[in-house]
Amino acid sequence: MNTRLGEGAIVFGLESSCDETGAGLVRIGEPVDRVDGIDGSDGGPAAAGSHRLELLGHQLASSSEQHARFGGVVPEIASRAHLEELLPTVHAAFDKAGIRQRDVDAIAVTCGPGLAGALLVGVAAAKAYAAAWGVPLFGVNHLAGHVAADTLEHGPLPSPTLALLVSGGHTQLLKITDLGRDIVELGSTVDDAAGEAYDKVARLLGLGYPGGPVIDRLAAQGDPAAVRFPRGLTGPRDRPYDFSFSGLKTAVARHVETLRAGGAEVPVEDICASFQEAVADVLTGKMVAAAMANGIDTVVIAGGVAANGRLRALARQRCDAAGLRLRVPSPGLCTDNGAMIAAVGAHAALAGAAPSAESLSANPGLPVGTVAV
């Protein structure tokens, strides 16, 4: 089996780590030495072996509505939904991309981090496809996948790039020298993830699951200065690149309880806006500081929370002021999808990753530094 992938190769990606079943198809394009900057300017060197990627098509099925009444993802429900949705989702992705199954040169599948049972559905399916089609299989990291989503729209990352990864389960600052194989964590959350804070605050306000999109929408009609909620781990003695959101969530809960106990009406829009301001302020402040301190001039924001309107706007403002290049995927590619998994599989293969062994399994706690397994 020839496992070297190059220009023209097609990678099929499968995602099933949480509540979205995703399938995507990506074609490897031309090799790139230097990346695109802003307004056609030079954006610096790309990692060795970088190529452009072309998104051919992708399809998603979500079980989020089935979890809504529980206020969070129920693992057994998610696993069952993946089983039911996987085949139709895969077929729809191929139809959209206008690709036949026999055109695929490699398969990438999320093998972690995520929910064990949910991951297993994707891994088992990907192994079966790889065996049936006689193509190599790459078990890849979901978190690196989020960052790779950006390369589908904006080309290869410059080396190095600073990434702010903000999802439902993770909040991390990463130094990326080569997205296919060299990712180092500079800091992470010590308690809740940013998306988790959105989901918990939405729950206590009775707004349903997932919390991010609805808070984003309501916050746009509220006053971000209505309540000054705490900014976790921003004191002079705190570790500069770590995050904490559980104190913020508790502060919102206490504020709402106090209003309710006093019989006052809860100004939901103002609370959403004030909570969101605290999250965006901390995330962008630490991101810019980490880039400057590490001498990195390009930052990328990835993960579901990167779809957030206020985070995107404040990041733009602060990066412009600091002279940093900012890259953020379109909102539709920020949340979980199969295209980002195909993309990280392509980057890993191009960086020399060996295909996964037949014993490949799900690893719910896969560390972010392990791009391909």
How many other C-beta atoms lie within 10 A of the C-beta of residue 12?
A: 32
- Length of the chain equals 373
Smallest Cα–Cα separation from 211: which of 306, 79, 280, 305? 305
Does the footprint of Zn ion cover residue 336 (CB under 5 A)? Answer: yes
Cα(4)–Cα(243) distance, integer angstroms:
40
Of 159 and 274, CB closest to ligand KG4: 274
Minimum CB distance to Zn ion, residue 359 (Å): 25
Could you tell me the smallest distance in angstroms from the CB atom of residue 155 to ligand KG4?
Answer: 22
**Subset of 250-309 contacting ligand KG4 (CB under 6 A):** 303-305, 307-308
Closest of 143, 244, 123 to residue 185, by C-alpha: 143
Q: Which residue has the tokens 């006689």?
A: 134
Contact criterion met (CB below 8 Å) for 10 and 105? yes
| 85: helix, strand or coil | helix
Residue 53 near residue 346 (C-beta atoms within 8 A)? yes
| Closest distance of CB 323 from ligand KG4, Å | 27
User: DSSP letters along 9-20, please?
Assistant: -EEEEEE-SSSE
Q: Are 306 and 329 in contact (CB under 8 A)?
A: yes
CB of 334 to ligand KG4, least distance (A): 7
358-368 exposure pattern, b = at least 16 Cβ within 10 A, e = fewer: eebbbbeebeb
Site for ligand KG4 in 4-43 (CB under 6 A): 18
Binding segment for Zn ion (CB under 5 A), chosen from 160-168, 213-221, 245-253, 356-364, is: 160-168
167 is a site residue for Zn ion (CB under 5 A): yes
Using the minimum distance from each CB to Zn ion, give the nearer residue, 10 or 348: 348
Given Zn ion, ligand KG4, none, residue 211, with its beta carbon under 5 to 8 Å by kind, binds ligand KG4
The interface mask with ligand KG4, positions 140-159, x = CB under 6 A, is: ------x-------------
Q: Which stretch binds Zn ion (CB under 5 A): 25-33, 246-254, 313-321, 331-339?
A: 331-339
Point out which span in 28-36, 101-109, 207-215, 290-298 binds ligand KG4 (CB under 6 A): 207-215
What three-state secondary structure class fits 309? helix
Spatial separation of the C-alpha atoms in residues 288 and 313, rounded to whole Å: 14
Closer to ligand KG4 by Cβ: residue 38 or 68:
68
Dihedral sign for Cα atoms in the order 344, 350, 353, 354: positive
**Considering the rule CB under 6 A, would residue 179 count as an interface residue with ligand KG4?**
no
Opening angle at CA 168, ends 107 and 213, nearest 5: 105
195 binds, among ligand KG4, Zn ion, none (CB under 5 to 8 A by kind): ligand KG4
* 44 binds ligand KG4 per the rule CB under 6 A: no
Of residues 20 and 281, the one with the C-beta less far from Zn ion: 20
Q: Are strands 325-327 and 298-302 parallel, antiparallel or unpaired?
A: parallel
Binding string, 300-339, against ligand KG4, x = CB under 6 A?
---xxx-xx--------------------------xx---
Among 105, 216, 242, 270, binds ligand KG4 (CB under 6 A): 216
Identify the residue among 158, 211, 224, 355 touching ligand KG4 (CB under 6 A): 211
H helix count then E strand count, the chain = 11, 12
Nearer to ligand KG4, 43 or 212 (CB): 212
Q: Phi-psi bin for 137: left (phi > 0), alpha (psi -120 to 50), beta?
A: beta
Positions touching ligand KG4 (CB under 6 A) are 18, 146, 167-169, 195, 198-199, 210-213, 216, 303-305, 307-308, 335-336
Positions touching Zn ion (CB under 5 A) are 167, 336
